[in-house]
Amino acid sequence: MKIVADCQIPYVHQVFSEFGEVIMREGRAINPQQVRDADVLLVRSVTRINAELLSGSNVGFVASATSGVDHVDVDYLQQAGIVFAHAPGCNAQAVVEYVLSSLFVLASQNQFRLQDQVVGIIGCGQIGSRLAQAFSTLGVRCLLNDPPLKEAAVGGPYSDLQDILNADIITLHVPLTGSGKHPTRHLVNGHFLSKLKPGAILVNTSRGGVVDESALTQNLRQRHFPLVLDVWEHEPVINRELLAAVAIGTPHIAGYTLDARLRATDMIYRRLCVYLHLSGSWSPDTELAHLPGRDVKIEAGVDTLAGLEMAVLSHYDVRSDAAALHQSLNMEAQAASRYFDELRRSYPVRREFPATTVSLSAADNPLAGILDRLGFRVASH
């Protein structure tokens, strides 16, 4: 069996070589010639999966180590009889942690209390719903918007978009769709932006195409508001004017914890095992077990909000990733594009909350329960 795989999928050669020959390729460079005689294709979001790539090939199984599928022509795969798998929810915890880190940074910079804000969450799937739970743990009021889930009577209660536009913070967690009853491409457009309350914070960690960047850039020329962008409309060629204007801009790494990436590898590995009628023996826990955790000590007298900020930002401070991407403003366009991909390719090991132990001054510290519900390990000193 021949398996063509994106070389940036963690442990892909080690994990999938038990099934056959694994040919490693750069995701953006995978082309029809390379997959013509492959049986299995393993990709990430940078590879377009469609008839142009796969027509006439021997591929019978395609898997994407991603939660989103906007890069995949699912209808074509179904018509061609090609089995498809992906990893929904694999990066949910990682994105939640990214959003919390970003908002604690902005709260400090702009001198507001996160608990005093109303957060509007657009898209309440695996990421949005988990983020809502995290905000509930922090005592932050949330408004939820998800028309498809509302129509299906799943979850809720849901708010209309107009109510969401009155929120202090709006964070986007929708798939990128260009058709259907509720398309999300350019959901954030000129009209959307004109309805934002003054000073509202907008966060996008979903897909770049959810935001009309031309409208956003024009809006920012007229009025400034805090903006957090992890995704961009034309990656890896990103809007330099927009990058210069955002409060936090990062290279599509919100979901890039090692835990999330290994979770994705495991999910598509299990699906291939089912496809091949085999039982798999690999587990991501084996790879994570030997990695050191992080320890954070919070002294007595620190109030709850300050302690939460300290724990979250000691675990992961988004400003390091933002500073790295900001350096591309000093490069010419082609070099900046290569640099964007290189930041993702060489991304340092980042873990999730359960890998960090927060040591508190007393077992009955009110922080203990909150940190535990967020996923941290909690100890006393």
Question: Would the pTM count as exceeding 0.75?
Answer: yes
Query: Does residue 335 surpass a pLDDT of 90?
Result: yes
Task: Write the CB contacts of 113 (distance below 8 Å, at least 6 apart in sequence).
Answer: 107, 305
Residues 335-356: what's their mean pLDDT?
97
Length of the chain in terms of residues written: 381
- What tokens does 372 get? 């535990």
The yes-or-no answer to whether 2-86+257-282 and 93-249 have a common fold is: yes
Query: Does residue 86 surpass a pLDDT of 80?
Result: yes
Q: How confident is the model at residue 366 (pLDDT cuts 50, 70, 90)?
A: confident
Residues 147-175: what's their mean pLDDT?
95
What's the confidence (pLDDT) of residue 19? 95
**d(C-alpha 23, C-alpha 20), whole Å:** 10
What's the confidence (pLDDT) of residue 364? 67
Q: Is the CATH number of domain 2-86+257-282 3.60.10.10?
A: no
Give the chain's mean pLDDT: 96
Question: 63 forms bridges with which residues in the sheet?
Answer: 42, 85
CATH superfamily ID and name for 93-249: NAD(P)-binding Rossmann-like Domain (3.40.50.720)
DSSP characters for 112-175? --GGGSEEEEE--SHHHHHHHHHHHHHT-EEEEE-HHHHHTT-S-----HHHHTTSSEEEE---
- What tokens does 107 get? 């709260």
Indicate the pairing of strand 356-360 with strand 377-380.
Answer: parallel
Query: Does residue 72 surpass a pLDDT of 80?
Result: yes
> Annotated catalytic sites, by residue?
207, 235, 252
Domain locations in the chain as residue ranges: 2-86+257-282, 93-249, 290-317+351-381
Residues 201-224: what's their mean pLDDT?
96
What's the confidence (pLDDT) of residue 75? 96
Residues 213-221: what's their mean pLDDT?
96
Query: Does residue 362 surpass a pLDDT of 80?
Result: no
Flag the least confident range among 237-251, 281-295, 327-341. Answer: 281-295
| Sign, Cα dihedral of 142, 147, 149, 152 | positive
pLDDT digit string (tens) for 88-111?
A: 999 999 999 999 999 999 999 999
What's the confidence (pLDDT) of residue 363? 64
What's the confidence (pLDDT) of residue 297? 95
